């Protein structure tokens, strides 16, 4: 409205022409990107989108690769809420699995028949896979309960499922939690009835997750499996090495715990690199051997990246100095809903220009109010709540961070950061 109101005062042709140019520029730039207070724009071919979904019940990520290939990374759903948790997002009228399905359908609205080409389960904890309880509904088949990942798989076709344990789920010892039994029942039914493939995540390889819709068009895309079960890529070819000692010589109390066995991967698109290591630790608990640090060998293989998700939600046992200094991302994302995450020391390492120079921003899905009270400087978070969408432009030269409202299903953009240049 303003330019029109100004016209009578400007009065000559040059000013009018200038206004037309200005108006066209504003309109074009609005079309090209996401604008605060409007619905997030749909994914388009050539873009790489990484959505970190805020549910208040666990970790869930949706990836849309440049040719439209889709991948889910975890779909957690803790069964209980306690005071140290943030509330359900958007609210408690639906379970997390259902909210995640609805979020994915919206993010994939460019596709009339949305599906997931891949789903990766980083490890077997309920905040990443779901938690079957008596109150959870059964699937239509009656073969498994619907919670987190199995809820998503019931409603969206999954082409290939990847995890660290297929087919026997016995490393380092048989895993017999209720969540695992339910997950295996889900796999059994899906492979027999829906043609779902399941594979064990194979460290070192870069051909297990590939573009499946138009791969020739985006030759610079690469998905590298970095580690799982203590087998870690060396950074050379597809060669890996075993980071853990022979467990025959290790007392049972020192055996690797579930987080140490997480999958880790690096995603590259042109000059853009991104890292996800699930819940891997990098600071051994008191008295435990140094090989309980999984971050250090992983960081050596991965090198610097543009963006990374914090390991283990920023808990005390993660983001060691070597890891932070080696990856040195411009953008950190934090999948969080618990008051103890991140820890104060992790926050200090992320912020320290002694650990690595240059600017950086940290984005959290849902920081607990208690954490805001306890950690000094945490108000410097670029964003403390909302779905976090990392949008990498075609060819990977630059990227933005778009924060989307998680208090409703408006999909309204609340903040936009960038563009940042890939190095
Ligand atoms: Zn976790």
> pLDDT (tens digit, 9 = 90+) per residue, 25-37?
444 444 458 999 9
User: For residue 24, with 0-12 CB atoms within 10 Å meaning exposed, 13-18 middle and 19 or more buried, which class applies?
Assistant: exposed
Ligand 1 center–CA 261 separation, angstroms:
12
Distance 235 CA to ligand 1 centre (A): 26
How far does the centroid of ligand 1 lie from the alpha carbon of residue 13, in Å?
62
Q: What's the gap between Cα 197 and its chain centre?
A: 22
CB 278 within 8 A of CB 247: no
H or E stretch including 25? helix 13-32
Q: Find the 31 Cα to ligand 1 centroid distance in Å.
A: 37
CA 65 to CA 56: how far, in whole Å? Answer: 26
| Encoded tokens for 207 | 């051909």
Share of the chain above pLDDT 90, in %: 92
**String of DSSP letters for 117-137:** EEEE--SS-HHHH----TTSP
pLDDT in the model for residue 13: 54
For residue 108, report the distance from its CA to the centre of ligand 1, in Å: 25
283-325: per-residue pLDDT in tens? 999 999 999 999 999 999 999 999 999 999 999 999 999 999 9
| Residue 46 backbone phi and psi in degrees, to 5 | 100, -25
H/E element, 419: strand 413-421
pLDDT at 24 over 90: no
336: pLDDT strictly greater than 70: yes
The architecture in CATH of the region 40-421 reads: 4-Layer Sandwich (3.60)
Q: Return the SS3 of 109.
A: coil
CA of 278 to the centre of ligand 1 (A): 7
The CA 390 to ligand 1 mean position distance, Å, reads 20
Measure 364 CA to ligand 1 centroid, in angstroms.
14
Please, which pLDDT band fits residue 16 given cuts at 50, 70 and 90?
low
Per the CB < 8 A criterion, the answer to whether 298 and 227 are in contact is: yes
423 CA to middle of ligand 1, Å? 30
Q: How far is the CA of 123 from the centre of ligand 1 (A)?
A: 8
Cα 213 to ligand 1 centre (Å): 31
Cα of 303 vs centre of ligand 1, distance in Å, is: 23
The values of phi and psi at residue 329, to 5°, are -70, 155
What local confidence, expressed as pLDDT, does residue 9 receive?
41
* Stretch 87-112: mean pLDDT: 97
Q: How far is the CA of 179 from the centre of ligand 1 (A)?
A: 14
Among 27, 35, 52, CA closest to 413: 35
What tokens does 277 get?
């290591």
Altogether, the residues listed in the chain come to a count of: 423
How far does residue 45's CA lie from ligand 1's centre (Å)?
32
Task: Return the pLDDT at 3.
Answer: 40
- For residue 234, give both structure tokens: 């060396």
At residue 5, does pLDDT exceed 70?
A: no
Q: Check: CB of residue 264 under 8 Å from CB of residue 226.
A: yes
- Has residue 359 got a pLDDT over 90? yes
Q: Residue 341 above 70 pLDDT?
A: yes
CA of 313 to the centre of ligand 1 (A): 6
200 C-beta neighbours (distance < 10 Å), count: 18
The Å distance, Cα 2 to ligand 1 centre, comes to 50
Average confidence score pLDDT of the chain = 94
The answer to whether 139 touches 189, Cβ cutoff 8 Å, is yes
Task: Look up residue 73 and give its DSSP letter.
Answer: E
Q: How far is the CA of 18 from the centre of ligand 1 (A)?
A: 54
> Does residue 21 surpass a pLDDT of 60?
no
What are the tens digits of pLDDT across the range 256-290?
999 999 999 999 999 999 999 999 999 999 999 99
**Rounded distance between C-alpha atoms, residue 203 and residue 226, angstroms:** 5
247/279 Cα distance (integer angstroms): 21
Provide the residues around ligand 1 (an ion) whose CB is within 5 A: 127, 279
pTM equals 0.92
Q: What is the pLDDT of residues 211-232, one digit of tens each?
A: 999 999 999 999 999 999 999 9
Query: Sheet harboring 307-309: ordered strands across?
Result: 240-242, 231-233, 221-228, 264-269, 272-276, 307-309, 331-334, 361-364
Give the per-residue pLDDT at 289: 97
Distance in Å, CA 110 to ligand 1 centroid: 31
Cα(311) to centroid(ligand 1), Å? 9
The alpha carbon of residue 133 and the mean position of all alpha carbons in its chain are separated, in whole angstroms, by: 26
Q: Which pLDDT band, with edges at 50, 70 and 90, does 39 fall under?
A: very high
Strands (E), 133-191: 158-163
Q: 126 CA distance to ligand 1 centroid (A)?
A: 8
Task: Look at residue 335 in the predicted model and tell me its pLDDT.
Answer: 98
Vertex 179: Cα angle to 339 and 81 (nearest 5):
30
Q: Name the 3-class secondary structure at 228.
A: strand
Q: Are 234 and 241 contacting, i.e. CB atoms less than 8 angstroms apart?
A: yes
The pLDDT, as a whole number, for residue 32 is 58
Is residue 18's pLDDT more than 70? Answer: no
Q: Residue 304 C-alpha to ligand 1 middle, in angstroms?
A: 24
**Residue 1 pLDDT > 80:** no
Q: Worst-scoring range by mean pLDDT, 8-17, 78-87, 383-392? A: 8-17
pLDDT at residue 6 tops 80: no
Q: Domain boundaries in the chain? A: 1-32, 40-421
Mean pLDDT of 369-394: 96
Specify whether the CB–CB gap between 216 and 164 falls below 8 A.
no
Q: How far apart are CA 131 and CA 272, in angstroms?
A: 35
Q: Is the pLDDT of residue 10 over 60?
A: no
Give the closest residue to 209 by CA, choosing from 174, 146, 171, 162: 162
Report the pLDDT averaged over residues 153-157: 98
Where does the pLDDT of residue 17 fall: very low under 50, low under 70, confident under 90, or very high at 90 and above? low
Residue 124 Cα to ligand 1 midpoint, Å, equals: 9
The larger pLDDT score, comparing residue 9 to residue 299, is at 299
Q: What are the phi and psi torsion angles at 42 (to 5°)?
A: -70, 155
Distance CA 115, CA 104 (A): 9
């Amino acid at each position: 409205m303003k330019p029109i109101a100004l016209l009578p005062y400007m009065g000559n042709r040059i000013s009018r022409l200038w206004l037309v140019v200005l108006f066209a520029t504003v309109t074009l730039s609005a079309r090209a990107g996401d604008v605060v207070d409007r619905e997030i724009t749909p994914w388009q071919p050539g873009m790489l989108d990484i959505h970190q979904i805020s549910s208040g019940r666990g970790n869930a990520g949706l990836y849309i690769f440049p040719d439209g290939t889709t991948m889910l990374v975890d779909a957690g759903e803790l069964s209980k809420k306690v005071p140290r948790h943030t509330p359900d997002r958007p609210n408690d009228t639906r379970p997390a699995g259902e909210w995640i399905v609805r979020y994915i359908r919206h993010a994939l609205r460019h596709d009339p028949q949305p599906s997931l080409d891949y789903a990766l389960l980083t490890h077997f904890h309920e905040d990443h896979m779901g938690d079957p309880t008596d109150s959870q509904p059964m699937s239509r088949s009656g073969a498994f309960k619907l919670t987190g990942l199995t809820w998503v798989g019931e409603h969206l076709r999954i082409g290939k499922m990847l995890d660290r344990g297929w087919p026997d789920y016995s490393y380092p010892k048989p895993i017999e939690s209720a969540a695992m039994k339910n997950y295996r029942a889900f796999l059994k039914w899906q492979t027999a009835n829906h043609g779902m493939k399941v594979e064990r995540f194979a460290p070192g390889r870069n051909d297990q997750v590939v573009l499946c819709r138009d791969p020739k068009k985006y030759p610079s895309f690469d998905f590298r499996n970095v580690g799982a079960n203590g087998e870690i890529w060396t950074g050379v070819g597809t060669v890996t090495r075993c980071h853990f000692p022979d467990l025959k010589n290790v007392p049972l109390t020192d055996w690797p715990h579930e987080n140490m066995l997480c999958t880790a991967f690096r995603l590259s698109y042109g000059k853009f690199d991104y890292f996800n290591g699930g819940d891997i630790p990098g600071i051994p608990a008191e008295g435990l051997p140094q090989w309980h640090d999984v971050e250090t060998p992983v960081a050596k293989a991965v090198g610097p990246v543009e963006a990374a998700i914090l390991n283990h939600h920023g808990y005390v046992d993660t983001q060691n100095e070597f890891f932070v200094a080696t990856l040195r991302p411009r953008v950190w994302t934090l999948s969080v809903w618990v008051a103890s995450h991140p820890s104060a020391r992790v926050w200090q390492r992320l912020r320290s220009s002694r650990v690595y120079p240059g600017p950086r921003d940290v984005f959290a899905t849902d920081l607990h109010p208690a954490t805001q009270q306890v950690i000094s400087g945490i108000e410097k978070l670029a964003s403390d709540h909302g779905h976090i969408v990392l949008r990498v432009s075609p060819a990977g030269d630059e990227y933005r961070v778009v924060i989307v409202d998680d208090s409703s299903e408006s999909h309204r953009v609340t903040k936009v950061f960038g563009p940042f240049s890939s190095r």
